[in-house]
Amino acid sequence: MASFIPRTLPMDLHAKFYLVGATLFLLVGIILTLTLRPSSKGNEESPSAFESFLRFFYASFLKPHNGDGTGNGQQDALESFYKAQAGVYDTTRKRLLRGREDMLGLAAAQLVHKSDTEGTHDVKRIWVDIGGGTGWNIEAMSEFVSVPEFFSSVYLVDFSPSLCEVARKRFARLGWKNVKVVCQDARTFRLEDHEDNTPDAVTFRRSSASNYYAEDGPNVGGADLITLSYSLSMIPDFYSVIDSLSSLLAPSGIIGVIDFYVQSIVDLSCRNYTGGAINRHVNWFGRLFWRAWFDVDRVGLEPGRRDYLEYRFGTILGADSRNYLLGSIPYYMWLGCSKKPTSLNTPNYPHEIVDRLDAAVTESPYLSPVNHTQALSRTVESSTPPELRSKAFDAAIINLSANLPLPSFFYQNHHWRIHYDDQLKKHTQFKHEYIYAFTWEDSRVDNRLLKLGSEDVVLAITSAGDNILSYALSSPARIHAVDMNPNQNHLLELKVAAYSALPYADFWKLFGEGRHADFRSLLISRLSPHMSSRAFQYWLNNTHVFMSSRGKGLYETGGSRHAIRIIRLLARTLGFRTQIKALLSAKTLNEQREIWAKDIRPILMSRLLNYLLVSQEKFLWAALGVPPNQLAMIEADHLHPAPESTPSPSSSPPLSHSQKKPNSTRGQAVWEYMAQTLDPVIDSSLLGTDNPYYLICLHGSYTPRCHPDYLSPQSHHKLSRTPAFDGLRIHTDSINDVVSRLAPNTLTVAVLMDSMDWLHPCDEDPSSSSSANTQITQLNRALKIGGRVLLRSAALVPWYVPVFEGLGFGAKRVGARIKGSCIDRVNMYASCYVLTKIRNLPAVDSNTRARGGSVDLEDFEI
């Protein structure tokens, strides 16, 4: 068959690529010529835009790079490429090499955070810039820290004499005496050759140990920061250079890299040790084209460079982006650290990190694997089943056994976020979007019912995180925030990071007004040290949420934005925006009731609007988060009204009638439900001063006099202190999966919101994770005697309350929407229940998670 393939096909294909490349290059040339601007300096350092482009064009595409025949290998090739354009390098690369300032800002933020937490403001640091070229990176770092004061020594290491000469002139002009330009192969650069005050005891060793985690780095000293800015892709022997960095880096130092890349999602399908794969995939044409394009200038874009970097070091942060100005060129930013995590003040033992976090996540006793005795081991084994392990522990075991770095979550400055696999379908189904930008549960009622104390261990659904922050104000021992949607947890992470890093004025702009013009800058320079890699990457890709001039800000994003936009569209098209403003400005309930009844209710509660839109199942799910099973409960209550008294175990819930409910009743059921929700709210609370839940829907932002508790200055003062979130653990998983991994009798409170409504009443398979029987059984196992479950329901008598009572709980209805009353300021649900554990259930093997035996981290040679 091969003989029938036309031999001219490769040439035709190459011709097409050259044609595309030539067209793209002409576009790049036009863009560079139009965007480059000469400065006020002399023509030698800043020639005209046209001259800069001509030099760049000649050196990159016309001049042969065969060297001068001196036989110096890589240095000869680099000099052949850079000598003709060294003087215009910075001018021509300003638009091409995007993201360099961002990478420097991320690195500086990490160093500043470390300085603040360790109190080492007066300690001078060493920075090594590998492939630093003209020194642009070092001068640009001055936007974030004072280079002469923050660093004791800065080494620019580059193999091109022409670029190094430009760098020397730059630092002579700046007068920075602590910067030294070293024209040397990065593989042979050693700090002890340049640091005269390095103690003799300090050696920068390379280990020949077979176990990678056993490799020794410098005991003292080393570089606090190593950066590679678009240089790794130009180093042929990148393996040796990356290997040398592990000896060059201080134990607690960081590495910052920014470079071009092309990669396929297939390469990442089994990666749980990187920062995530959001926006990392490049299609086949992009991979082929950009590799061929950059290969002309000896720039290697094969994925092995980035892969090996992420294999040799732990990932702190990683993000991928595109240079859309120049043809959508893919590039990445990456921050890494030693493969041995040094957080939590541990003596560089990865297994100690893993065990500590595992104990916190599962509420099990912590036992140091280094110093434990056999007696203590037996105590722990008797109190906690050895197979009870967190998913983070399982992932760490897989990585340790394969000599891989730990998952990126283990290298964060805070261990709030628990490891999860972001490629699972149960997470990707949300398509990088949260549903709720604000939480619909009334925190005031929650606090009154729960009265949390310092001994409480709370499990709650994350939603938008507002309720989690409200619980944190009571300083419980632990809060387990759980949500299947990773984006909801990204939002909570952002709020917690903002408490940790921002003053109240910025915090209020972000979450009070929902807009901040400098959000991207704050994200990089202030918030990034307090975020996991995946949350950072998500918000870097979604800075428009807070910054877009066309959008309305945070509170018109997420799935719930559809309902809010429809209300605003109706107000604009039907002309009652003025009435909504008047409703929010009402001084008395009587005034508010009059405006509602006369001007707004006839439109919003219109039967036609309800029939065409609100009662549609797709709208209820996409805009209001009402799943089919919950909608069925609303219809069931409409068809068979429940008794107003609290049910007993023998009561028959209204959903016990057949699943075949005529669709003709849905519109009436939804209309009555809306009326029972909204009318009592208007009658009982002033929306503009005491009801932030409806204020945010109608106004688009909170006001200083009406907002959730977590947005007050007093709350910010309390939660911005260092230990405020030490007990927070954010799980990206189902409730059942998280509860099943908690140690028995450790949980005191579980806040389930309306999640039980999402379960199917006919699913009686005890092994099913969607079974009410399974979830309630797991809650009984995890809760202490007297532990409480707080939940709300769209039904007055939920079908699952008798299931709770049959599985060791006592039920008490603490709120009911009866005769026009409100259960809280939201009033979105028909009832609120507190279910108290009154007895333990017998141990059932089928409901116990088995892993086929225990795994001890001591089994792995560290």
Q: How confident is the model over 785-813, as pLDDT tens digits? A: 999 999 999 899 999 999 999 999 999 99
555-564: per-residue pLDDT in tens? Answer: 999 887 877 7
Q: Does 508 lie in the same domain as 529?
A: yes
| Band of residue 860 on the pLDDT scale cut at 50, 70, 90 | very low
384-393, 398-407, 497-506, 835-844: range with lowest mean pLDDT: 384-393
Question: How far apart are alpha carbons 767 and 170 in whole angstroms?
Answer: 69
Q: Is the dihedral of CA 689, 693, 694, 697 positive or negative?
A: positive
Question: Higher-confidence residue: 456 or 672?
Answer: 456
Q: Does 503 lie in the same domain as 447?
A: yes
The per-type count for the chain, helices as H runs and strands as E runs, is: 36, 14
Supply the pLDDT for residue 392. 81
Q: What is the mean pLDDT of residues 414-441?
A: 89
Supply the pLDDT for residue 13. 54
Supply the pLDDT for residue 763. 61
Q: Is the dihedral of CA 749, 752, 757, 759 positive or negative?
A: negative
| Band of residue 847 on the pLDDT scale cut at 50, 70, 90 | very low
| Band of residue 617 on the pLDDT scale cut at 50, 70, 90 | low
- With respect to residue 278, please indicate whether it lies within any of the assigned structural domains: no
User: Which DSSP state fits 851?
Assistant: -
Q: Does 695 lie in the same domain as 628?
A: yes
Does the pLDDT of residue 260 top 70, yes or no?
Answer: yes
Supply the pLDDT for residue 10. 46
- At 672, which amino acid appears? E
Q: Does 766 lie in the same domain as 732?
A: yes
Does the pLDDT of residue 374 top 80, yes or no?
Answer: no
Question: Higher-confidence residue: 25 or 183?
Answer: 183
Supply the pLDDT for residue 34. 46
**Strands 783-793 and 747-753, sheet pairing:** parallel
- With respect to residue 727, please indicate whether it lies within any of the assigned structural domains: yes
CATH number at residue 718: 3.40.50.150
Domain range enclosing 752: 443-547+710-847
Supply the pLDDT for residue 540. 94
Q: Does 675 lie in the same domain as 576?
A: yes
Question: Higher-confidence residue: 368 or 54?
Answer: 54
**Inter-residue contact 498 to 527 (CB < 8 Å):** yes
- With respect to residue 601, please indicate whether it lies within any of the assigned structural domains: yes
Question: Higher-confidence residue: 340 or 211?
Answer: 340
Q: Does 380 lie in the same domain as 454?
A: no
- With respect to residue 213, please indicate whether it lies within any of the assigned structural domains: no
Q: Does 717 lie in the same domain as 587?
A: no
Does the pLDDT of residue 251 top 50, yes or no?
Answer: yes
Measured in whole angstroms, the distance separating CA 210 from the mean position of its chain's CA atoms is 34
700-727: per-residue pLDDT in tens? Answer: 999 999 999 999 999 999 999 988 999 9
Does the pLDDT of residue 210 top 90, yes or no?
Answer: no
156-165, 306-315, 335-344: range with lowest mean pLDDT: 335-344
Q: What is the mean pLDDT of residues 43-60?
A: 50
Q: Does 772 lie in the same domain as 715?
A: yes
240-244, 338-342, 458-462, 473-477: range with lowest mean pLDDT: 338-342
- With respect to residue 829, please indicate whether it lies within any of the assigned structural domains: yes
281-302: per-residue pLDDT in tens? Answer: 888 888 888 888 887 777 888 8
Does the pLDDT of residue 385 top 60, yes or no?
Answer: no
Q: Does 632 lie in the same domain as 566?
A: yes
12-21, 110-119, 457-466: range with lowest mean pLDDT: 12-21
pTM of the predicted protein model = 0.83
In the chain, pLDDT over 70 holds for what percent of residues? 71
Q: Does 594 lie in the same domain as 720?
A: no
| Total of domains in the chain | 4
Q: What is the mean pLDDT of residues 730-756?
A: 93
- With respect to residue 365, please indicate whether it lies within any of the assigned structural domains: yes
Write the CA distances from 592 to 567, 580, 604, integer angstroms.
18, 10, 15
Supply the pLDDT for residue 8. 42
Tell which of 92, 118, 139 closes a domain: 92
- With respect to residue 833, please indicate whether it lies within any of the assigned structural domains: yes
Supply the pLDDT for residue 206. 36
Write the CA distances from 576 to 168, 610, 748, 779, 843, integer angstroms.
67, 18, 47, 48, 60
Does the pLDDT of residue 764 top 60, yes or no?
Answer: no
Provide the angle, in degrees to the nearest 10, between the axes of the packed helices 284-295 and 9-35. 70
Does the pLDDT of residue 208 top 60, yes or no?
Answer: no
Does the pLDDT of residue 41 top 50, yes or no?
Answer: no
Does the pLDDT of residue 845 top 70, yes or no?
Answer: no
Q: Does 587 lie in the same domain as 539?
A: no
Phi, psi of 30 (to 5 degrees): -65, -45
Supply the pLDDT for residue 118. 82
Tell which of 92, 122, 144 closes a domain: 92
Tell which of 411, 435, 466 closes a domain: 411
- With respect to residue 267, please indicate whether it lies within any of the assigned structural domains: no
Nearest to 315 by CA among 496, 515, 72, 532: 532
Measured in whole angstroms, the distance separating CA 729 from the mean position of its chain's CA atoms is 14
Q: Does 530 lie in the same domain as 579?
A: no
